[in-house]
Amino acid sequence: MKKKLLLSAIVSTLALGGVAAAQTEADSVYSALKNGNFSFNTRTFYMIRTFESPSTTPDTQALTFGGIMKYESASYNNIKLGLAFYGNESIGGVFSREEGLGTSLLERNTGDDINFLGEAYLQYDISNTMVKVGRQQLSTPLMNNHDLRALPSVYEAAVVRNSDIKDTTIELGYVSRYTGFVSKDGKFLDYNTKWGKDGLAYIYLQNHSIENLSLRAQYIAPLSTTDATGTHISVEDYKYADAKYNVPFGKKTYVKVQVGGNDYYQESSSTLVGAKIGSTFFNILDAAILFDNIDGNSFKAVESGPMYSDWQQGYGNYEPSTAVGGQLILHPMKPLSLKVGYVDVSAASGYNTDDFSEFNFDGKYAFNDMSKIRIRYSYKDQKPGSSRESRQDFRVIYYLNF
Protein backbone atom coordinates (compact mmCIF):
# COMPACT_ATOMS: atom_id res chain seq x y z
CA MET A 1 0.00 0.00 0.00
CA LYS A 2 2.83 2.35 0.92
CA LYS A 3 4.60 1.42 -2.35
CA LYS A 4 1.43 2.23 -4.30
CA LEU A 5 1.07 5.56 -2.50
CA LEU A 6 4.75 6.37 -3.13
CA LEU A 7 4.46 5.43 -6.81
CA SER A 8 1.33 7.56 -7.14
CA ALA A 9 3.11 10.50 -5.54
CA ILE A 10 6.10 10.14 -7.89
CA VAL A 11 3.85 9.92 -10.96
CA SER A 12 1.81 12.90 -9.79
CA THR A 13 4.96 14.94 -9.12
CA LEU A 14 6.41 14.08 -12.52
CA ALA A 15 3.13 14.90 -14.24
CA LEU A 16 2.79 18.20 -12.43
CA GLY A 17 6.43 18.96 -13.18
CA GLY A 18 5.84 18.23 -16.87
CA VAL A 19 2.81 20.49 -16.92
CA ALA A 20 4.77 23.20 -15.13
CA ALA A 21 7.66 22.86 -17.58
CA ALA A 22 5.28 22.99 -20.54
CA GLN A 23 3.57 26.01 -19.00
CA THR A 24 6.93 27.75 -18.47
CA GLU A 25 7.91 27.06 -22.08
CA ALA A 26 4.55 28.33 -23.31
CA ASP A 27 4.92 31.44 -21.19
CA SER A 28 8.37 32.05 -22.71
CA VAL A 29 7.06 31.75 -26.26
CA TYR A 30 4.17 34.03 -25.35
CA SER A 31 6.56 36.54 -23.81
CA ALA A 32 8.78 36.49 -26.89
CA LEU A 33 5.78 37.21 -29.10
CA LYS A 34 4.29 39.76 -26.72
CA ASN A 35 7.56 41.67 -26.37
CA GLY A 36 8.19 41.83 -30.11
CA ASN A 37 8.56 45.09 -31.96
CA PHE A 38 6.13 46.63 -34.45
CA SER A 39 7.32 49.26 -36.93
CA PHE A 40 5.65 51.15 -39.76
CA ASN A 41 7.90 52.91 -42.26
CA THR A 42 5.85 54.96 -44.70
CA ARG A 43 6.58 56.95 -47.85
CA THR A 44 4.44 59.44 -49.67
CA PHE A 45 6.01 59.50 -53.11
CA TYR A 46 5.55 61.78 -56.11
CA MET A 47 7.52 61.14 -59.30
CA ILE A 48 7.42 62.51 -62.82
CA ARG A 49 9.64 61.41 -65.71
CA THR A 50 9.69 63.41 -68.92
CA PHE A 51 11.44 62.47 -72.15
CA GLU A 52 13.20 64.95 -74.36
CA SER A 53 11.97 65.72 -77.88
CA PRO A 54 11.86 64.07 -80.42
CA SER A 55 11.10 61.06 -78.19
CA THR A 56 7.79 59.28 -78.73
CA THR A 57 7.86 57.64 -75.29
CA PRO A 58 5.03 59.06 -73.15
CA ASP A 59 5.87 60.94 -69.97
CA THR A 60 4.96 59.18 -66.74
CA GLN A 61 3.96 60.32 -63.26
CA ALA A 62 2.36 58.99 -60.08
CA LEU A 63 1.47 59.98 -56.54
CA THR A 64 1.45 57.11 -54.06
CA PHE A 65 1.45 56.23 -50.37
CA GLY A 66 2.85 53.02 -48.95
CA GLY A 67 5.64 51.39 -47.06
CA ILE A 68 6.48 48.48 -44.80
CA MET A 69 4.53 47.36 -41.73
CA LYS A 70 6.76 44.94 -39.84
CA TYR A 71 6.67 42.77 -36.75
CA GLU A 72 9.74 41.09 -35.28
CA SER A 73 9.44 38.98 -32.15
CA ALA A 74 11.77 39.11 -29.18
CA SER A 75 14.25 36.27 -28.92
CA TYR A 76 13.16 32.84 -27.65
CA ASN A 77 16.01 30.33 -27.33
CA ASN A 78 17.98 32.68 -29.63
CA ILE A 79 15.27 32.49 -32.33
CA LYS A 80 13.36 35.45 -33.76
CA LEU A 81 10.38 35.55 -36.11
CA GLY A 82 9.95 38.38 -38.61
CA LEU A 83 6.92 39.25 -40.76
CA ALA A 84 6.47 42.34 -42.92
CA PHE A 85 3.67 43.48 -45.19
CA TYR A 86 4.73 45.57 -48.20
CA GLY A 87 2.30 47.87 -49.93
CA ASN A 88 2.04 50.95 -52.13
CA GLU A 89 -1.21 52.60 -53.22
CA SER A 90 -2.09 55.27 -55.75
CA ILE A 91 -3.49 58.30 -53.92
CA GLY A 92 -6.95 59.56 -54.76
CA GLY A 93 -6.90 59.00 -58.50
CA VAL A 94 -4.80 62.14 -59.00
CA PHE A 95 -3.08 60.42 -61.92
CA SER A 96 -4.33 57.50 -63.99
CA ARG A 97 -2.92 53.98 -63.72
CA GLU A 98 -1.58 54.30 -67.25
CA GLU A 99 0.30 57.50 -66.35
CA GLY A 100 2.07 55.71 -63.50
CA LEU A 101 3.35 52.69 -65.43
CA GLY A 102 6.86 53.98 -66.07
CA THR A 103 7.57 55.25 -62.55
CA SER A 104 8.23 51.81 -60.98
CA LEU A 105 6.00 52.89 -58.07
CA LEU A 106 3.08 50.65 -59.05
CA GLU A 107 2.61 47.24 -60.69
CA ARG A 108 4.85 46.84 -63.73
CA ASN A 109 2.25 46.00 -66.40
CA THR A 110 -1.03 47.32 -65.03
CA GLY A 111 -0.26 50.25 -62.77
CA ASP A 112 -2.26 48.55 -59.99
CA ASP A 113 -1.49 48.96 -56.30
CA ILE A 114 1.18 46.69 -54.82
CA ASN A 115 0.41 44.46 -51.81
CA PHE A 116 2.33 41.36 -50.73
CA LEU A 117 4.07 39.61 -47.84
CA GLY A 118 7.55 40.99 -48.33
CA GLU A 119 9.38 39.47 -45.35
CA ALA A 120 8.80 36.19 -43.52
CA TYR A 121 11.86 34.76 -41.82
CA LEU A 122 13.30 32.93 -38.85
CA GLN A 123 16.57 34.23 -37.42
CA TYR A 124 18.84 32.26 -35.08
CA ASP A 125 21.64 34.03 -33.21
CA ILE A 126 24.28 32.30 -31.14
CA SER A 127 27.61 33.76 -30.11
CA ASN A 128 29.09 35.41 -33.23
CA THR A 129 26.90 33.55 -35.73
CA MET A 130 23.58 34.50 -37.28
CA VAL A 131 21.40 32.24 -39.45
CA LYS A 132 18.44 33.80 -41.26
CA VAL A 133 16.08 31.84 -43.51
CA GLY A 134 13.11 33.09 -45.51
CA ARG A 135 12.00 36.28 -47.24
CA GLN A 136 14.41 39.06 -46.32
CA GLN A 137 16.31 42.11 -47.46
CA LEU A 138 20.00 41.66 -48.32
CA SER A 139 22.86 44.12 -48.04
CA THR A 140 25.86 43.10 -50.15
CA PRO A 141 27.63 44.97 -52.98
CA LEU A 142 26.19 42.89 -55.84
CA MET A 143 22.87 41.91 -54.29
CA ASN A 144 20.99 44.37 -52.07
CA ASN A 145 17.66 46.05 -51.48
CA HIS A 146 18.16 48.83 -54.05
CA ASP A 147 15.94 51.20 -52.10
CA LEU A 148 15.28 53.83 -54.79
CA ARG A 149 11.49 54.00 -54.95
CA ALA A 150 8.59 53.26 -52.60
CA LEU A 151 9.62 49.66 -51.82
CA PRO A 152 12.96 47.86 -51.67
CA SER A 153 13.90 44.64 -53.47
CA VAL A 154 13.50 41.49 -51.34
CA TYR A 155 14.90 37.94 -51.61
CA GLU A 156 13.91 34.40 -50.68
CA ALA A 157 17.21 33.36 -49.18
CA ALA A 158 19.19 31.51 -46.52
CA VAL A 159 22.07 33.45 -44.98
CA VAL A 160 24.78 32.53 -42.47
CA ARG A 161 26.92 35.34 -41.07
CA ASN A 162 29.89 34.82 -38.73
CA SER A 163 32.39 37.17 -37.06
CA ASP A 164 34.55 34.74 -35.03
CA ILE A 165 37.67 35.94 -36.85
CA LYS A 166 38.80 39.25 -35.40
CA ASP A 167 37.82 42.29 -37.47
CA THR A 168 36.33 40.00 -40.12
CA THR A 169 32.77 39.12 -41.14
CA ILE A 170 32.04 36.16 -43.41
CA GLU A 171 28.60 35.76 -44.98
CA LEU A 172 27.40 32.75 -46.95
CA GLY A 173 24.10 32.91 -48.79
CA TYR A 174 21.73 31.08 -51.07
CA VAL A 175 19.05 32.91 -53.08
CA SER A 176 16.24 31.17 -54.94
CA ARG A 177 13.89 34.00 -55.98
CA TYR A 178 13.39 37.72 -55.52
CA THR A 179 10.98 40.53 -56.27
CA GLY A 180 13.08 42.24 -58.91
CA PHE A 181 13.83 45.94 -59.19
CA VAL A 182 12.10 47.84 -56.34
CA SER A 183 9.42 45.13 -55.97
CA LYS A 184 7.26 46.61 -58.75
CA ASP A 185 5.96 43.15 -59.68
CA GLY A 186 4.45 42.76 -56.22
CA LYS A 187 5.57 39.13 -55.94
CA PHE A 188 8.61 36.86 -55.81
CA LEU A 189 9.78 35.86 -59.27
CA ASP A 190 11.69 32.89 -60.65
CA TYR A 191 14.80 34.19 -62.42
CA ASN A 192 15.99 30.78 -63.63
CA THR A 193 16.65 32.03 -67.16
CA LYS A 194 19.32 34.35 -65.72
CA TRP A 195 20.42 32.53 -62.54
CA GLY A 196 20.01 28.89 -63.55
CA LYS A 197 17.29 26.55 -62.33
CA ASP A 198 18.80 26.05 -58.84
CA GLY A 199 19.39 29.65 -57.82
CA LEU A 200 22.51 31.53 -56.72
CA ALA A 201 25.08 30.97 -53.97
CA TYR A 202 27.44 33.65 -52.68
CA ILE A 203 30.23 34.42 -50.26
CA TYR A 204 30.74 37.94 -48.93
CA LEU A 205 33.76 39.02 -46.86
CA GLN A 206 34.42 42.19 -44.88
CA ASN A 207 37.67 43.01 -43.09
CA HIS A 208 39.07 46.03 -41.25
CA SER A 209 42.03 44.51 -39.43
CA ILE A 210 44.43 47.11 -40.86
CA GLU A 211 44.07 50.56 -39.34
CA ASN A 212 42.18 53.00 -41.58
CA LEU A 213 41.60 50.30 -44.23
CA SER A 214 38.28 48.59 -44.99
CA LEU A 215 38.06 45.69 -47.45
CA ARG A 216 35.06 43.99 -49.04
CA ALA A 217 34.75 41.15 -51.56
CA GLN A 218 31.86 39.14 -52.98
CA TYR A 219 31.60 36.19 -55.32
CA ILE A 220 28.28 34.89 -56.68
CA ALA A 221 27.77 31.77 -58.80
CA PRO A 222 24.74 29.85 -60.10
CA LEU A 223 24.31 26.35 -58.70
CA SER A 224 23.22 25.19 -62.15
CA THR A 225 24.48 26.45 -65.50
CA THR A 226 21.18 25.69 -67.23
CA ASP A 227 17.71 27.11 -66.83
CA ALA A 228 14.46 25.18 -66.34
CA THR A 229 14.32 24.31 -70.05
CA GLY A 230 17.89 23.00 -70.15
CA THR A 231 19.26 26.07 -71.96
CA HIS A 232 22.69 27.25 -70.85
CA ILE A 233 22.54 30.57 -69.02
CA SER A 234 24.68 33.47 -70.18
CA VAL A 235 26.46 34.72 -67.04
CA GLU A 236 28.76 32.24 -65.29
CA ASP A 237 29.53 34.34 -62.19
CA TYR A 238 29.59 37.77 -60.56
CA LYS A 239 32.78 39.08 -58.92
CA TYR A 240 33.51 42.25 -56.95
CA ALA A 241 36.00 43.69 -54.44
CA ASP A 242 36.73 47.16 -53.10
CA ALA A 243 38.93 48.92 -50.58
CA LYS A 244 38.61 52.20 -48.70
CA TYR A 245 41.59 53.85 -47.04
CA ASN A 246 40.98 56.74 -44.66
CA VAL A 247 43.99 59.02 -45.11
CA PRO A 248 45.38 59.92 -41.64
CA PHE A 249 45.60 63.62 -42.48
CA GLY A 250 43.18 66.18 -43.82
CA LYS A 251 39.53 66.13 -42.83
CA LYS A 252 37.76 62.82 -43.52
CA THR A 253 39.96 62.28 -46.57
CA TYR A 254 39.68 58.88 -48.23
CA VAL A 255 40.72 56.89 -51.28
CA LYS A 256 38.54 54.11 -52.70
CA VAL A 257 39.29 51.54 -55.40
CA GLN A 258 37.06 48.83 -56.87
CA VAL A 259 37.40 45.89 -59.23
CA GLY A 260 34.81 43.48 -60.58
CA GLY A 261 33.69 41.42 -63.52
CA ASN A 262 31.80 38.49 -64.96
CA ASP A 263 32.64 35.31 -66.81
CA TYR A 264 30.27 34.52 -69.69
CA TYR A 265 29.29 31.34 -71.48
CA GLN A 266 30.71 31.48 -75.01
CA GLU A 267 31.44 35.21 -74.70
CA SER A 268 34.39 37.28 -73.51
CA SER A 269 34.62 38.17 -69.83
CA SER A 270 33.91 41.63 -68.44
CA THR A 271 36.11 43.68 -66.13
CA LEU A 272 35.36 46.72 -64.00
CA VAL A 273 37.94 49.02 -62.39
CA GLY A 274 37.21 52.24 -60.54
CA ALA A 275 38.58 54.82 -58.14
CA LYS A 276 37.18 57.60 -55.98
CA ILE A 277 38.95 60.27 -53.89
CA GLY A 278 37.13 62.49 -51.43
CA SER A 279 37.58 64.87 -48.53
CA THR A 280 35.68 67.33 -46.31
CA PHE A 281 36.30 71.07 -46.32
CA PHE A 282 35.31 73.67 -43.70
CA ASN A 283 33.38 70.91 -41.85
CA ILE A 284 30.36 71.46 -44.12
CA LEU A 285 31.37 70.46 -47.66
CA ASP A 286 32.15 66.92 -48.86
CA ALA A 287 33.78 66.72 -52.28
CA ALA A 288 34.84 63.75 -54.42
CA ILE A 289 36.03 62.88 -57.90
CA LEU A 290 35.51 59.44 -59.44
CA PHE A 291 36.38 57.17 -62.34
CA ASP A 292 35.04 53.85 -63.68
CA ASN A 293 35.98 51.74 -66.67
CA ILE A 294 34.25 48.62 -68.03
CA ASP A 295 36.03 46.52 -70.62
CA GLY A 296 35.56 43.32 -72.63
CA ASN A 297 31.83 42.78 -72.10
CA SER A 298 28.91 44.17 -70.11
CA PHE A 299 29.37 44.25 -66.34
CA LYS A 300 26.40 42.81 -64.45
CA ALA A 301 25.33 42.91 -60.82
CA VAL A 302 22.41 40.81 -59.55
CA GLU A 303 20.71 43.89 -58.08
CA SER A 304 22.11 47.41 -57.58
CA GLY A 305 25.46 48.03 -59.18
CA PRO A 306 28.24 49.15 -56.83
CA MET A 307 29.91 51.44 -59.36
CA TYR A 308 31.00 54.86 -58.10
CA SER A 309 29.67 56.47 -61.28
CA ASP A 310 26.18 54.94 -61.19
CA TRP A 311 23.38 56.94 -59.54
CA GLN A 312 20.34 55.85 -61.53
CA GLN A 313 20.40 52.35 -62.98
CA GLY A 314 21.82 49.86 -60.52
CA TYR A 315 20.31 46.63 -61.81
CA GLY A 316 21.09 45.81 -65.43
CA ASN A 317 23.82 45.65 -67.99
CA TYR A 318 26.60 48.21 -67.91
CA GLU A 319 28.13 48.25 -71.34
CA PRO A 320 31.88 48.71 -71.95
CA SER A 321 32.47 52.40 -71.26
CA THR A 322 34.55 54.97 -69.40
CA ALA A 323 33.01 57.28 -66.80
CA VAL A 324 34.45 60.32 -65.02
CA GLY A 325 32.63 62.58 -62.62
CA GLY A 326 32.41 64.26 -59.26
CA GLN A 327 30.04 65.22 -56.48
CA LEU A 328 29.61 67.88 -53.79
CA ILE A 329 27.58 67.47 -50.60
CA LEU A 330 26.83 70.58 -48.58
CA HIS A 331 25.72 70.35 -44.91
CA PRO A 332 24.66 73.92 -44.09
CA MET A 333 22.92 72.75 -40.91
CA LYS A 334 22.66 69.43 -39.09
CA PRO A 335 19.28 68.23 -40.47
CA LEU A 336 19.94 69.39 -44.06
CA SER A 337 22.15 67.94 -46.81
CA LEU A 338 22.34 69.10 -50.43
CA LYS A 339 24.13 66.88 -52.94
CA VAL A 340 24.97 67.60 -56.57
CA GLY A 341 26.80 65.27 -58.90
CA TYR A 342 27.89 65.10 -62.51
CA VAL A 343 29.16 62.16 -64.53
CA ASP A 344 30.14 61.76 -68.18
CA VAL A 345 29.91 58.21 -69.57
CA SER A 346 31.49 57.44 -72.94
CA ALA A 347 30.59 54.14 -74.60
CA ALA A 348 33.39 51.99 -76.00
CA SER A 349 33.64 51.47 -79.74
CA GLY A 350 30.74 49.41 -81.04
CA TYR A 351 28.39 50.26 -78.14
CA ASN A 352 25.82 53.05 -77.88
CA THR A 353 23.65 52.51 -74.80
CA ASP A 354 25.78 53.77 -71.91
CA ASP A 355 26.75 56.95 -73.74
CA PHE A 356 25.47 59.97 -71.81
CA SER A 357 26.11 62.70 -69.28
CA GLU A 358 24.06 63.06 -66.13
CA PHE A 359 23.43 65.81 -63.61
CA ASN A 360 21.96 64.73 -60.27
CA PHE A 361 20.59 66.63 -57.26
CA ASP A 362 19.57 65.03 -53.96
CA GLY A 363 18.33 67.20 -51.07
CA LYS A 364 17.30 65.85 -47.66
CA TYR A 365 15.84 67.60 -44.61
CA ALA A 366 15.06 65.78 -41.35
CA PHE A 367 12.25 67.38 -39.34
CA ASN A 368 12.92 65.01 -36.43
CA ASP A 369 13.84 61.38 -35.78
CA MET A 370 10.54 60.21 -37.26
CA SER A 371 10.11 62.23 -40.42
CA LYS A 372 12.11 63.72 -43.27
CA ILE A 373 11.60 65.00 -46.79
CA ARG A 374 13.75 64.29 -49.84
CA ILE A 375 13.79 66.03 -53.22
CA ARG A 376 15.64 64.42 -56.13
CA TYR A 377 16.21 65.63 -59.67
CA SER A 378 18.28 64.19 -62.50
CA TYR A 379 18.85 65.04 -66.12
CA LYS A 380 20.27 62.22 -68.22
CA ASP A 381 21.45 63.55 -71.57
CA GLN A 382 22.04 60.74 -74.04
CA LYS A 383 24.67 61.53 -76.66
CA PRO A 384 23.82 61.56 -80.41
CA GLY A 385 23.42 58.04 -81.75
CA SER A 386 22.61 56.53 -78.35
CA SER A 387 19.94 53.82 -78.27
CA ARG A 388 18.35 55.40 -75.20
CA GLU A 389 16.37 58.62 -74.88
CA SER A 390 17.29 61.69 -72.86
CA ARG A 391 15.07 62.18 -69.84
CA GLN A 392 14.43 64.17 -66.68
CA ASP A 393 13.32 62.69 -63.36
CA PHE A 394 11.82 64.69 -60.49
CA ARG A 395 10.87 63.03 -57.19
CA VAL A 396 9.55 64.24 -53.86
CA ILE A 397 9.47 61.70 -51.01
CA TYR A 398 8.14 62.25 -47.50
CA TYR A 399 9.21 59.63 -44.96
CA LEU A 400 7.27 59.03 -41.73
CA ASN A 401 8.39 56.19 -39.47
CA PHE A 402 6.76 54.82 -36.35
CA dist 343 and 148 (Å) reads 19
Q: What is the pLDDT of residues 364-393, one digit of tens each?
A: 999 999 999 999 999 999 999 888 899 999
pLDDT of residue 54: 78
The answer on pLDDT for 394 being more than 60 is yes
Q: What is the pLDDT averaged over residues 289-317?
A: 87
The answer on pLDDT for 289 being more than 80 is yes
Q: What is the pLDDT averaged over residues 163-191?
A: 96
pLDDT band at residue 27 under the 50/70/90 scheme: low
14 sits in which H/E element = helix 2-34
Q: How many CB atoms lie within 10 A of CB 275?
A: 14
The answer on pLDDT for 335 being more than 90 is yes
The answer to the question of residue 108 being in a domain is: no
pLDDT of residue 386: 86
pLDDT of residue 4: 41
What pTM, to 2 d.p., does this model score? 0.90
Q: What percentage of the chain exceeds 90 in pLDDT?
A: 82
The answer to the question of residue 256 being in a domain is: yes
The answer to the question of residue 181 being in a domain is: no
Apex 249 CA angle, 246 and 254, nearest 5? 25
Residue 347 identity:
A
CA dist 312 and 257 (Å) reads 20
pLDDT of residue 312: 65
Dump the DSSP string for 212-257. Answer: TEEEEEEEEEES-SB-TTSPBPSB--EEEEEEEEE-SSSSS-EEEE
CA dist 274 and 286 (Å) reads 19
The answer to the question of residue 310 being in a domain is: yes
The answer to the question of residue 301 being in a domain is: yes
The answer to the question of residue 57 being in a domain is: no
pLDDT band at residue 11 under the 50/70/90 scheme: very low
pLDDT band at residue 302 under the 50/70/90 scheme: very high
pLDDT of residue 29: 86
The answer on pLDDT for 180 being more than 80 is yes
Q: In terms of residue numbers, what domain contains 387?
A: 249-402
Q: What is the pLDDT of residues 260-275, one digit of tens each?
A: 999 999 999 999 999 9
User: What CATH number is attached to the domain comprising 350?
Assistant: 2.40.160
Structural domains of the chain, count: 1
The answer to the question of residue 169 being in a domain is: no
Q: What is the pLDDT averaged over residues 158-180?
A: 97
Report the mean per-residue pLDDT for the chain: 91
The answer to the question of residue 161 being in a domain is: no
pLDDT of residue 53: 81
Q: What is the pLDDT averaged over residues 133-161?
A: 96
pLDDT of residue 316: 67
CA dist 301 and 146 (Å) reads 11
Q: What is the pLDDT of residues 199-249, one digit of tens each?
A: 999 999 999 999 999 999 999 999 999 999 999 999 999 999 999 999 988
pLDDT of residue 9: 41
